[in-house]
Each structure stands twice: as structure tokens, then as C-alpha cells.
Amino acid sequence: MVKISDDAVKSIGKVLNDPNRPMKERFRALFTLRNLGGESAIKCISECFKDESVLLKHELAYCLGQMQDKNAVPVLISVLEDKNQDPIVRHEAGEALGAIGDTELQSLLEKYQHDPAVEVAETCQIALQRLKWIKDESTNNSKLSQSRYASIDPAPPSKEVNIEELKKTMLDERKSLFERYRAMFSLRNLGTMESINALGEGFKASSALFRHEVAFIFGQMQDERSVPFLIKTLEDTEEHEMVRHEAAEALGSIATEECTEVLKRYLNDPRPVVRESCEVALDMSEYENSPEFQYANTLLTVHS
């Protein structure tokens, strides 16, 4: 963890909280604060939940969950409970609480697993099962939940390695979302053409939450073989905006010339979440094709 002064953290926080800054600059500030961690960074991120951008607020919640700092729990609870927040933001707050993994949150998640917003309800169901998994598993199994992609996943990968079995589980809508997510993350970890094609089948699932996670996983994998699935998803204007937004950001992570051209076409999409995602994705793409080691690290050199 990089150590910089509190004033420097607050300076980065000002960039994040400035609505007049381009969205790509605010995202870079957010990712920098996530990487820095600590109470000041959490405070800067928390202050931004009053912003108008649904995309940015959902990313705030995601970053707080990935930081795995219990100091973020109160603000995440307030966001989850705030019915005035967009379901996309509330869903991410619920997932973040599951990522932090405090088993004392079980009763709260039980309350919201029946939320009227289906994205929120399904997220809290998965987060609740993750907390129960943490509680039930021995410490020897803690490695199972660690991601090779340096992320805290909503569910640990399954122990199954047979692609056909994993695909069967992932697509079985009679099974719990938690179990299907476990199969999905196992397919991600295998990283073969067969597992990518199996994941692509996940876009046929009835749950928008599930489909958005498939797109997110493709972004993590950064494998060009997933691009046709992602382009088709972004181009589907009838698709849920949370799915299209994840497809856009995944294309930005993969960052081929084809990805860039497609993203440029949707910079004026009528849905703010989608067009802002394309703006941020193009910035990510620029970084993926530059000598920078890590997206968003420039603010560290500016402010440290």
C-alpha cells in the first residue's frame, strides 16, 4: 500500500467529487483512492454518493467493497437502504457488503433479499450466501475464495473443473444464483476457448444481474476471444443498461482496435450509464495500450 499525506489524499478526493471534471478523471481519482485505502480515502469516496451519476456511484460502492475495510460498512448500509438511489447503485452496495464479509451483516442482507428491485434482491441473496459460506468454511479453505484477478468475488469458484458440468450448473435456473456464480467464476479461472464460449452462453440467462456479471468477468479476463459476445451485448439496445455498461467497460479493458471503434459509436447513447461507461472504457483502453503499469496510477505521481 502506497503511503502519501492526508492532504494529498484529500486533493485526490476533490478531483473525485468535482462534477465539472470529465468522468474519466473522476474514475482515475476513485481508483487511486481505492488503491491507497485508509479512513481519509473512504471518507472522500463516501462523500461522492450525493453525485448525480449512477455509473460513478455504483463504482464508488464497488471500490469500497474491494477495499475490504469495515470503516466503509456504515455508508454502504445507508446506500443500500436508500430507496432514492438507483437500483444499480443499491445492488453494488449490497455486493460490497458481501465482499467485506462481516458476518454480523447477515440480518441486514436477509431483510433486503426480498427487495422490490430484483437486482438488489438477487445481489443480497448472493451476498448472504457468501457470508454463510465464510462462516461455514474452515480457515484452510480461505484460499478458495481468492481470485487470480486480485478481486474479491461475490462467490468463491467451484471445485468442479469439468467445463460441461460447470456450464450445466451455470445455466440451470433452478439452482441458486450463488451456486451458478461459483460455476461462472470457475469457468473464468480455466480461461480456455471452451470456457469462454460457455461463459458467453450466460448472456442467455433470465437474470440481468447474472448477465452483467458475465460481462464483468470477460473484462477481468481481457481475452480477445470474448469480444464478439461483448459487442453483441453492447449493441443490444433492448438489454438492461447495467449489462450494456459492463460490456462497454469490458471492451475498454480488452482494448483492441475493434473494441475502441465500437465504444466510440456509443459515446452518445441515450442511456447515461452506457455513454459514461463508453467514455471511461475508452480512457481505460488508452491506458491498456500505453506504457502505464496500472490504470489510474498517474494521480499518485501527481499528488504524492
Residue 256 is given by DSSP the state -
CA–CA separation, 109 vs 116, rounded Å?
14
Q: Are 172 and 182 in contact (CB under 8 A)?
A: no
Q: What does the pLDDT read at residue 4?
A: 84
Task: Check whether 189 has a pLDDT greater than 60.
Answer: yes
Q: Where do the structural domains in the chain lie, given as residue ranges? A: 1-136, 144-290
The cell numbers describing 17, all together, are: 467529487
CA–CA separation, 168 vs 223, rounded Å?
22
Cα Rg of the chain, angstroms: 18
CATH superfamily of 144-290: Leucine-rich Repeat Variant (1.25.10.10)
Q: Helix or strand or coil: residue 138?
A: coil
CATH class of 1-136: mainly alpha
Q: What does the pLDDT read at residue 204?
A: 96
CA–CA separation, 227 vs 188, rounded Å?
15
The cell numbers describing 181, all together, are: 456464480
Q: Measuring CA to CA, which residue among 28, 29, 32, 30 is closest to residue 2?
A: 32
Which residues share a beta bridge with 146? 152
Higher pLDDT, 137 or 14: 14
Which residues share a beta bridge with 152? 146
Decide whether 1-136 matches 144-290 in CATH topology.
yes
pTM of the predicted model as reported, rounded to 2 decimal places? 0.90
How confident is the model over 281-289, as a mean pLDDT?
A: 82
Q: Helix or strand or coil: residue 297?
A: coil
